[in-house]
């Protein structure tokens, strides 16, 4: 039996700010849609506490040893880094934006 490590989730300030802006933007057109997207992103990120390796290795990260990963929810790509006992949410961006290759 494999025991998975529980981790805490922390958000980079830039990721938090962009997430708030995304929800605010969607809310202008559809308050219900904004809430659906917000809840979906929160739910997908929450899964990381129990299984940080569930999502794909970030293909845009150069020299990635596997600790940089990404997931997509409703056309928003969430990039995160696995660091020992925590998950650091690095950025959120719409998939129509050019990726940041680093």
In the chain, where are the structural domains located?
8-94
Pick among 3.30.2310.20, 3.90.180.10, 3.30.420.40, 1.10.3470.10: CATH of 8-94: 3.30.2310.20
* Confidence (pLDDT) at 11: 97
Residue 1 confidence (pLDDT) above 70: no
Cα(71)–Cα(39) distance, integer angstroms: 15
Percent above pLDDT 70 for the chain: 89
Could you read off the pLDDT of 38-77 as tens digits, one per residue?
999 999 999 999 888 889 999 888 889 889 999 999 999 9
Total residue length of the chain: 102
* Confidence (pLDDT) at 24: 96
Cα(9)–Cα(11) distance, integer angstroms: 7
Show the tokens assigned to 69: 């990963």
* Confidence (pLDDT) at 4: 64
């Amino acid at each position: 039996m494999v025991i998975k490590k529980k981790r805490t989730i922390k958000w980079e300030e830039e990721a938090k700010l962009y997430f708030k802006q995304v929800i605010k933007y969607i809310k202008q057109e559809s308050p219900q849609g904004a809430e659906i997207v917000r809840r979906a992103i929160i739910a997908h990120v929450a899964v990381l506490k129990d299984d940080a390796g569930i999502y794909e290795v970030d293909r845009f990260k150069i020299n990635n040893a596997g600790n940089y990963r990404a997931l997509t929810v409703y056309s928003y790509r969430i990039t995160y880094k696995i660091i020992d006992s925590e998950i650091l949410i690095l950025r959120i961006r719409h998939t129509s934006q050019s990726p940041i290759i680093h």
